[in-house]
Chain A
């Protein structure tokens, strides 16, 4: 640190003229998403949050409980893996929530907000970065599933259908996670609440065993559990398995789109409102 050298950090770097708002929004979002992407390889444990649980469940159900579960006409791998894929969307809530709560409590978001950056870009980048991270996590699950003998029957069209459904689901659940992250004060709290909601819904949602075989109470819950629609939708697209039961199980794709649209419609305005309200506190 030299003596009286003034603040002048060098020749003035002129700022390029400020582009129009929509262009700034896109540019700022990309720069901020870049930050999330760079961080991913440096925190492998965050990816494992998304992947370990499905891997453990896969091994457990495939090799421990699998022999006791018989689903007529399907190999258990082909039943289980689409289920895990579907429920992994919901587990994304926990990842997005913890990342968000950390960014808020550690002051990173404050720094972005004290810059002349569009507010919407900060929150959009938060969602986009999380979605990309989850996509990576899900790709790992798919790869491991295929390694363990899962055989999806995907034509080109149904491949796109699956990708579209999963992406929509991811966006919806990530918004939910970001909202949760802004409402809670610590990542432990997010994890606690997240698991308390997602794990029961995942078990009741027919991820591991058919809902039709359950006792009355869990069966009724399971038939209207949003996750059961998602799980059934993925199963229908990847294996052509048609589920029985309530309307949402016999029309799982429409039901999944409906649930995700509902979640988005609720969470996006709330999250945006919360993000602005945060300036009040």
Chain B
């Protein structure tokens, strides 16, 4: 059983396109039944990485196994275990969702009847019945993604690989994709998903590999990654400039805090969490100023991402970037 405990293992996995090193000696493991995420900006090498795992691109160095099968040496065994949803939906646009699903089931080797039964159930399961009879080219982006996800499930894969499954989706479709992914994992599937969104990685993944310029620059659980960026802190936002000046000098006698006059915000390191929050509120009370906001803040994955890659990732607000230690 040792073979099946690890779903994916890469060792020094590398892919060169001429001079460009798209994936540079990446090592990682995905335990069976977990969600792993490759997080990185555009061009980080995420797609190249998953294409190698799905046997669509041949590594130029290192090795990768899927459920113990080498992606180069035993591609058929890998293909039988894995299902990939590409960054660009791999569906025939002129066929309906249902016809696409049947096509895939037939290509898997199922007969007509058995394919039809599988597809009926899938349409129910992923809840795409309302548009299953419309040609893919005429459905919305979110619907297309869901059809694509259904297509990925035809093979009841053991490893589901999703390349940027929610990029460009509206929040509701994104939620649908997320909940589907969670359910799949609950039933024992292993998931590898790539994303540019820290929120998505944070929400879904058990294990995150942050990629940048082909390299794995950090890896760990969301909590571990956040811890790398430093500790939690208390942020105090004041109403007016006078109060800001008074309070920053008051707080500075007690804490090694940093003050940002432009935003009238004072940041106090809070390694003890709530206890530090209480201490800060006491100082505010005794200084006799009124604060607009006092909050205990944990570093987000956004902070980690920016600190590691130097790239303001998708959806970041400008103010969040200012707070990140350089």
**Given A9-B156, A10-B117, A279-B57, are A35 and B92 neighbors across the interface (CB < 8 Å)?**
yes
| Cα-based distance from A105 to B90 in the complex (angstroms) | 9
Tell whether, in the assembled complex, residue B109 and residue A114 are in contact, meaning their CB atoms are under 8 Å apart.
Answer: no
A153 at the interface (CB under 8 A from B): no
Interface positions, chain A 1-33, Cβ under 8 Å from B, are 1, 4-10, 13, 15-16, 18, 24, 28, 31-32
Looking at B79-87, B231-239, B243-251, B290-298, the stretch in contact with chain A turns out to be B79-87
What's the interface size class on B, roughly?
35 or more
**A39–B136 alpha-carbon span in the complex (Å):** 11
Contact A13 B110 (CB under 8 A): yes
What 1/0 mask marks residues of chain B from 50 to 61 whose CB sits below 8 Å from any chain A CB? 010011111000
Q: Does B153 contact A (CB under 8 A)?
A: yes
Residue of A nearest to B186 (CB): A4
Q: Cβ of B32 < 8 Å from any Cβ of A?
A: no
Of all chain A residues, which has the CB nearest B81? Answer: A116
**Can you list, as one digit per residue, whether each of A70-111 has a CB less than 8 Å from chain B (1) or not (0)?**
000000000000000000000000000000000001111111
B103 touches A35 (CB 8 A): yes
Which B residue's beta carbon lies closest to that of A107?
A: B90
- Judge whether A113 is part of the interface by a CB distance below 8 angstroms: yes
Nearest neighbor of A34 in chain B, beta-carbon distance: B103
Any B CB within 8 A of the CB of A115: yes
- In the bound complex, what is the Cα–Cα distance between A5 and B187 (angstroms)? 8
A15 — which chain B residues lie within 8 A by C-beta?
108-110
Q: Which of B48-99 contact A (CB under 8 A)?
A: 51, 54-58, 76, 79-80, 82-84, 86-95, 99
CB within 8 A of A1: which of B57, B58, B91, B179? B179
Contacting pair B109 A38 (CB below 8 A): no
**1/0 per position for B178-198, CB-CB distance to A under 8 A?**
011001101111000000000
> Would you call B217 an interface residue if the criterion is a C-beta within 8 Å of the partner chain's C-beta atoms?
no
> Are B187 and A7 in contact (CB-based, < 8 A)?
yes
- Write the chain A residue with the least CB distance to B180: A1
Known: A4-B186, A7-B156, A7-B184. A115 touches B79 (CB 8 A): yes
Judge whether B186 and A10 touch: CB under 8 Å.
Answer: no
B121 beta carbon closer than 8 Å to chain A = yes
Chain A hits for B122, CB < 8 A: 9
In the complex, chain A residues whose CB is within 8 Å of the CB of B186:
4, 6
Query: What are the residues of chain B within 8 A of A281 when measuring CB–CB?
Result: 17, 57
Judging by beta carbons under 8 Å apart, are B176 and A1 in contact?
yes
Is A148's CB within 8 Å of the partner chain B?
A: no
List of B residues within 8 angstroms of A10 by Cβ: 117-118, 121
A6 near B104: Cβ-Cβ < 8 Å? no
Chain A residues with CB under 8 A of B141: none
- Cα–Cα distance between A262 and B51 once the two chains are bound (Å): 35
Q: Are A31 and B106 in contact (CB under 8 A)?
A: yes
CB distance from A38 to the nearest CB of B (A): 6
Q: Mark A102-145, 1 if CB is under 8 A from B, else 0.
A: 00011111111111110000000000000000000000000000
Residues of B near A117 (CB, < 8 A) are: 107
| A28 & B189 in contact (Cβ 8 Å cutoff) | no
A13 CB contacts on chain B under 8 angstroms: 110, 114, 117-118
- Can you identify 25 A-B contacts, CB atoms within 8 angstroms? A1-B176, A4-B183, A5-B183, A6-B186, A6-B188, A7-B189, A9-B153, A13-B117, A15-B109, A16-B110, A24-B109, A32-B103, A34-B103, A42-B135, A108-B91, A108-B92, A110-B51, A110-B84, A110-B86, A111-B91, A113-B56, A115-B108, A115-B155, A116-B80, A279-B56
Q: Which residues of chain A have a CB within 8 Å of any CB of chain B?
A: 1, 4-10, 13, 15-16, 18, 24, 28, 31-32, 34-35, 38-39, 42-43, 105-117, 279-281
Using CB atoms and an 8 Å cutoff, list the residues of chain B in contact with chain A: 17, 51, 54-58, 76, 79-80, 82-84, 86-95, 99, 103-104, 106-111, 114, 117-118, 121-122, 125-127, 135, 151, 153, 155-156, 176, 179-180, 183-184, 186-189
